[in-house]
Structure 1
Amino acid sequence: MSDPVVERIQRDPKYQQLTRTRNRFGWTLTILMLIVYYGYIGLIAFDKELLAKPLGAGVTTLGIPIGLGVIVFTVLITGLYVRRANTEFDAMTREILKDATK
């Protein structure tokens, strides 16, 4: 038992374009996040001296702002994905559903 509407949607070139675009964008952000996160972990593992350098005369080291940068980067790419999903991807989905239910 297969639903003809589902089959129509799956054959729709707009749907195929949506899934390709969304998957490519998701994987790109995932790879960027992995590079940033594992780059930071790599610095911790292989260059502790760099991260231990103090900033100014205080006790804060270079590792603290870099670690905060990793967190901020995560929030930014999440926001980027949500923004694109809520605008471009949702609009494409509505258009595909409208065409499929005609």
Structure 2
Amino acid sequence: MQQSMLDAIQQLPEYQQLVKNRSRLAWTLSAIMCSAYFGFILLVAFQPAFFEQIVWGDTITIGFPLGIGLILLAFVLTGIYVYAANRQFDALTQRIREQVHA
């Protein structure tokens, strides 16, 4: 692509909105995941007795469902991003393409 075309695309309000919305969502979801993960690690490091709580049967402690919860959180956050990308970001990208090829 020629530099002039790239510059023209970057000046489009739709492109600026796409970058802004995508960045905001990505940073928000990343902050949620990092907070959950580091919260779990800090809990393990500074309150190991918390993980001695038995929640099921004689052997399943609270750490197991919390760990599974972290994994599921990652899937949910990925799903949120994919949903937003398919619904909002793709529409903005299509409008940008239409303006460029017009």
Report the TM-score range of the alignment, normalised by the length of the smaller protein. Answer: over 0.9
Query: 1:56: Cα distance to partner?
Result: 4.1
Gaps of 5+ in 2: none
Corresponding residue number in structure 1 for 2:61: 61
Higher strand share: 2
For residues 38-95 of structure 1, give each alpha carbon's deviation from its aligned partner in whole angstroms, at most 9, with x where no partner exists.
0000111011111121114421000100110000000000111011112210111011
Alignment of 1:59-98 (within 5 A): 59-98=59-98
Gaps of 5+ in 1: none
Corresponding residue number in structure 2 for 1:39: 39
Runs of 4+ with >4 A deviation: none
Q: TM-score, normalised by structure 2?
A: 0.92
For 2:97 and 2:56, locate their aligned partners in 1 and report how far apart those are by CA, in whole Å. 58
For 1:66 and 1:34, locate their aligned partners in 2 and report how far apart those are by CA, in whole Å. 15
Corresponding residue number in structure 2 for 1:16: 16
Residues paired across the two proteins, number: 102
Q: Percent identity?
A: 36
Note the aligned Cα RMSD (angstroms): 1.5
